Amino acid sequence: MKKSLFNASFEESINLENDGFRKMQQEQHDKLVRKVINGKPTFSFKMQAFILTMLFPVGFNYLLSLGASKFTTNDLGELKLQPASQNFFPWQVYVFLLSVWLLFVVIGKFFKQAFILPYRYQFHNFTYMVILCIEANLTLLGVLLSNLSIIFIVGYAFIWIFLLYFMTTTKVKALQKNMFNNNSEPRLQDRLAKIIGAYGMGVLGLAVILQRTLTIFLGNKLSSFEDLGMLLLFLIWNILVPAVVIFIGTPYFLQAYYKLKYPEQYRKYEGKSLEEWYGKKYLKKHTIH
């Protein structure tokens, strides 16, 4: 019987350090650690976080909402597309999604241990990435529905769900094997997922190049290939963001979960003092046993 990813012992959770994708995130993690002194972020880091919040979750995402409204008009500039028949990203949706992101920020403030702060800030970055992906899809959804046939839309949805499933199952099985030394042979879906990961983007890129080349020679006679090119570009964006969250975010935040579950074991394992691990402010209000 396979163990749950959330039910590992301390010794088993340490194996997460061997995950290659988690190692990719270590450099960013170390940078954030240096910006937290005794459990308190530096003033410069607070200002940086505030400015980036105003520029992206507040400012840039609002521009996306304006863009979605623009796509519902007949004035699309040089874009040879039919305007969207419906706006799926009005300002009300923008406010709702921004509120969801800010709610995660507020909830994160309940976790005040010094060792968890870098994970907390990175979690806000990842949740923003997901919300940005959702908003980008809502911005373009009306245009796509107005310019693509139902066959393309259904095909896209099927391929996207299919890829998400294989990326998720592949990562979960890799983590289980890493943490619990599960040496079972990979199933067909695992091998297929590796093939998609290795060659999928190349195939999509070649398809776009082919579409552009044929359009040059055949002009507007190849509208179906134009639809395909638009859909492939849209698919690439919707694969990249979930891939980052699944392959990099999952082991990284799973490690944060286990540091919260076994804080003293990890403190001793990393050779940190109580003040370094928890922070002065946290120790004033909590007794560590």
Tally of domains within the chain: 1
SS3 87: coil
Specify the pLDDT at position 259: 97
**Is residue 206 over pLDDT 60?**
no
| Domain presence at residue 181 | yes
Q: What is the pTM of this model?
A: 0.82
| Domain presence at residue 1 | no
| Domain presence at residue 4 | no
Q: How many CB atoms lie within 10 A of CB 214?
A: 15
| Domain presence at residue 6 | no
CA distance to 18, 113, 165, 230, 252, per residue, from 3 (Å): 18, 28, 20, 42, 19
| Domain presence at residue 69 | yes
| Domain presence at residue 149 | yes
CA distance 243 to 167: 7
Q: Which residue has the higher pLDDT, 31 or 225?
A: 31
Specify the pLDDT at position 132: 93
Specify the pLDDT at position 155: 82
Question: What range does the domain containing 164 cover?
Answer: 14-285
- The residues that bridge with 41 in the sheet, in sequence order, are 36
Q: What is the mean pLDDT of residues 207-223?
A: 49
Specify the pLDDT at position 82: 79
Specify the pLDDT at position 188: 47
| Domain presence at residue 3 | no
CA distance 267 to 276: 9
Q: Interhelix angle for 150-180 vs 188-218, to 10°?
A: 150
pLDDT digits (tens, 9 = 90+) for 109-128: 999 999 999 999 999 999 99
pLDDT digits (tens, 9 = 90+) for 152-203: 788 888 888 999 999 999 899 889 988 998 554 444 444 544 555 555 545 5
| Domain presence at residue 124 | yes
Q: Which alpha helices (H) appear in the chain, and where do they start and end?
A: 10-13, 20-33, 43-53, 61-70, 91-108, 117-147, 150-180, 188-218, 223-243, 250-261, 263-270, 274-278, 280-285
Residues in the chain: 289
pLDDT digits (tens, 9 = 90+) for 239-278: 889 999 999 999 999 999 999 999 999 999 999 999 999 9
Compute φ and ψ for 220, nearest 5 degrees: -80, 5
Tokens 């699944």 belong to: 246
Q: Which residue has the higher pLDDT, 287 or 210?
A: 287
Q: DSSP string spanning 1-65?
A: -PPPTTS--HHHHGGGGG-HHHHHHHHHHHHHHTTEETTEE-HHHHHHHHHHHIIIIIIIHHHHH
Per-residue tokens: 12? 């088993």
Per-residue tokens: 139? 């911005």
